Structure 1
Amino acid sequence: MSLKTVLIMVLSLAFLYALFTVGAPFLLAIVIAIFLEPAISLLMAKGRMNRLAASTIICSLFTLVMLGLSYWLGVKVISETIDFMKNAPAYFNEANAYVQQTMERTQLFYNSMPPELAEQAQTWLETMLKTLTDTLNSIVRSISGYFFNIAVKIPNLFIFFTVFFVSIYLFSMNLTRLKASFLSLFHEQSVEKVEKVLVNLRKAIFGFIFSQAIMSALTYVLVFCGFALLGVSFPLALSLLVVAVDILPVLGVGSVLIPWAIYSYIVGDSYLGTGLVIMFLVILVVRRVVEPKVLGNAVGISALSALVSLYVGYKIVGVVGLFLGPIVVIVYEAMRKVGLLSIKIKLED
């Protein structure tokens, strides 16, 4: 591999990183603009209107749908979260009362034990209760800090989404011109290969997004149905929370359901604890069966490559790497298929 090729790859990775961080609203906007392009072309052909009018109509419909869904979900989640926070002290009081009752019963048990053994058991129990209390306090502080950070970032989110929605209109109106300007950067002999790369890249990226949406929707349905069957309060908000945590490869649904199940067993709710464990196992099995096929068919890369790229990307650059890692693999595969990039190792005798 020549030094020029290595330099181009390094600069490309740096550009992708900047695009996924500082340029995130523009990246999302151009992805949505490409996604809306078939509808815009169809409206131009059927409605006999110019690109400006067709783009304005389709982008306006998309914006209205997104704002409507965001408002509905936001109202539901916020209302359920407020109700949950109002009832949180009652939940903790109930848990505390159960612990006190357990302490009283165990105290009677200690009295019938040898003094040395009773002292060791009491010390172990106090340590366990202190650990549990510290963990619960840490969870409450984390939740409070999370909502505080969201409140602090509201102005930045407003600017982000304003730029995002305006960029959708601008990209949609000028998409054909932007594509022509991009292709003009390449030599005539390379234009055909670059167009093939763009086609493969478009299929793979939208396949990746579609596959992740399918897996998140599947997880949400399974979690919501499980919560509904178990009679859990606020199933909508809690299901969305579980799905949000599940996006991170290091955590997953088990990081929410398993601690919750342990807590349920501790406070004496064995029905809920067993149900949460069963629900976790069902979700785990279903995802392991469905995910490789969905990723392989939609993205065109193996499930192992997708998993490795997700994990490595996350460990190197954080949450951005969850998207940057698979994109790098997809770009490499697209360039390799058309012959723009070929890595062959030759060993000298």
Structure 2
Amino acid sequence: MNHLPIERFYFVTFIILAIILSGLYLLPLLYPFIIGLILAMIIHQPVTALQHRLLLPRWLAIILWLLLLISIITGIMILLITQAILELSTLSSKLLVSIDRFIHQMNQQLQSSEWLQWMEQLEQILTGFSPQLQETVQGNLGELLTSLGNSLKNLISAIFGQLVKFVAVIPNATSTFFIAILSTFFIALDYDKLRDRLHRMLPAERMMNIQLVYNDLRQALFGFFRAQFKLVSVTALLIMVGLLFLQVEHAFTIGMMMGMIDFIPYLGVGVIMLPWILISFIENDYTMVMGLSILFGIVVLVRQFMEPRIMATTIGLNPLITLIALFVGLQLFGFWGLMIGPILYVILLSLWKAGIFHEVWSYIRNG
């Protein structure tokens, strides 16, 4: 029986760890160019078709396709932001009116005879306690009020902190966007040359392995976006039907907007539904509170149930393995792990199909 040569095992382990650490270090520095490479791969065939059909220079065909992509992305963002501002302004005005109404009701309640009678009874009960117990109760009440005040301050500070972070991200996001577009242009311009150079540098067997990994990864990427589109469509449809049942005005517009917001990282439908439920509660509209709460729970449960199944069918993976990849990716990378987890699994599966793991194992065993 052959034993594992410990030196080769340590060497392979060191190389794998070096690749992983290098990737983690270089990814924040190179991700605009990685985005550019992915976009160049996506538009390569349409650019080539446009170039040959209209007899255009390649650079002009690339610019036309990039302008089309930028126009679509910009249009969607403008639509989302405009609709979000309109809805949030409506919600904020309703919230202010509801808070004023709530404060007015509280003032009326505090001046009512029932409240004054209850306070007199509480005062009589407290006077019957020992002085030490009275000080303890008063101290606890003071700490409760102080804690509520500090919680309000922390909430306001957190909101402003998030706004500051969002504003600070805008310049970096803008520069990243333009760098990604420029890198897309230059990579797409020399796409065939770069591919031919890679073919000359690597043996035919290695190119077949790389092509296999590339095909599986492309299928996973397009499958991921198809899955997200299906999930967003289901979310929008559920919300539309639920709001129509609750007889809410503009149910179609609100459902479409929430469906698109559901695709945005770290937001989801809760950013609209939870304040809406709070406003309805303050306004004593308990029927709307129950309806919106049930609708929100249904949307969350349906999405959690369907996401691994849709991801599995569109990407072509086992549902259980997809669920594990989603969970591990979410724990390690946050929201983006929902995309990174399945993609890493696809890469590992492709490397397995290409025989890379078998070759590494053979090297460790036999040299």
TM bin (shorter chain): 0.7 to 0.9
Give yes or no for contact 1:257–1:280 (8 Å, CA) kept in 2.
yes
Distance 1:126 1:206 in 2: 58
Q: Which residues in structure 2 correspond to 1:19-168 (within 5 Å)?
A: 20-82=27-89, 84-85=91-92, 88-100=95-107, 107=115, 110=118, 138-168=154-184
- Residue 196 (structure 1) aligned with residue 196 (structure 2): no
Q: Secondary structure at the match of 1:60?
A: helix
Give yes or no for contact 1:98–1:267 (8 Å, CA) kept in 2.
no
- Deviation of residue 59 (structure 1)? 1.7
Query: 1:347 maps to what in 2?
Result: none
CA offset digits 1:194-215 (Å, max 9, x no partner)? 2111111111122123323432
CA offset digits 1:263-321 (Å, max 9, x no partner)? 74465221221112111232134324532331111222234433433443343344554
- Deviation of residue 20 (structure 1)? 4.5
Q: Compared with structure 1, are the counterparts of its residues 7 and 328 closer, same or farther at alpha carbon in structure 2 (3 Å cutoff)?
A: farther
Distance 1:209 1:146 in 2: 28
- Deviation of residue 187 (structure 1)? 2.8
Q: Compared with structure 1, are the counterparts of its residues 65 and 242 closer, same or farther at alpha carbon in structure 2 (3 Å cutoff)?
A: closer
Query: 2:3 maps to what in 1?
Result: none
Distance 2:125 2:274 in 1: 34
Distance 2:343 2:87 in 1: 36
Query: 2:223 maps to what in 1?
Result: 207
Distance 1:264 1:136 in 2: 21
CA offset digits 1:37-76 (Å, max 9, x no partner)? 2322322342244433322221222122222332333333
Identity of aligned residues (%): 21
Q: CA RMSD in A?
A: 4.2
- Deviation of residue 131 (structure 1)? 7.5
Give yes or no for contact 2:98–2:279 (8 Å, CA) kept in 1.
no
- Residue 275 (structure 1) aligned with residue 275 (structure 2): no
Distance 1:300 1:112 in 2: 70
Query: 2:321 maps to what in 1?
Result: 305
The answer for unaligned runs of 5 or more in structure 2 is 1-7, 130-136, 362-367
Query: Between Structure 1 and Structure 2, how many residues are aligned?
Result: 339
1:243 is matched with which residue: 258, 262, 283? 262
Query: 1:13 maps to what in 2?
Result: 20
Q: Compared with structure 1, are the counterparts of its residues 71 and 103 closer, same or farther at alpha carbon in structure 2 (3 Å cutoff)?
A: same
| Most deviating of 145-154 and 233-242 | 233-242
Give yes or no for contact 1:55–1:172 (8 Å, CA) kept in 2.
yes
- Residue 325 (structure 1) aligned with residue 335 (structure 2): no
| TM-score (norm: length of structure 1) | 0.76
| AA of the residue aligned to 1:157 | A
Give yes or no for contact 1:215–1:291 (8 Å, CA) kept in 2.
yes
The answer for unaligned runs of 5 or more in structure 1 is 345-349
1:334 is matched with which residue: 321, 333, 350? 350
Distance 1:94 1:287 in 2: 36
| Most deviating of 201-210 and 72-81 | 72-81
- Report which of the two structures shows the higher radius of gyration computed on alpha carbons: 2
Distance 2:257 2:118 in 1: 40
| TM-score (norm: length of structure 2) | 0.72
Q: Which structure has more RCO (C-alpha within 8 Å, separation ≥ 6)?
A: 2
Give yes or no for contact 2:311–2:322 (8 Å, CA) kept in 1.
yes
Give yes or no for contact 2:235–2:259 (8 Å, CA) kept in 1.
no
Distance 2:210 2:168 in 1: 43
Q: Compared with structure 1, are the counterparts of its residues 126 and 212 closer, same or farther at alpha carbon in structure 2 (3 Å cutoff)?
A: farther
Distance 1:238 1:95 in 2: 29
Give yes or no for contact 1:80–1:237 (8 Å, CA) kept in 2.
no
Q: Compared with structure 1, are the counterparts of its residues 19 and 68 closer, same or farther at alpha carbon in structure 2 (3 Å cutoff)?
A: farther
Q: Secondary structure at the match of 2:317?
A: coil
Give yes or no for contact 1:25–1:163 (8 Å, CA) kept in 2.
yes
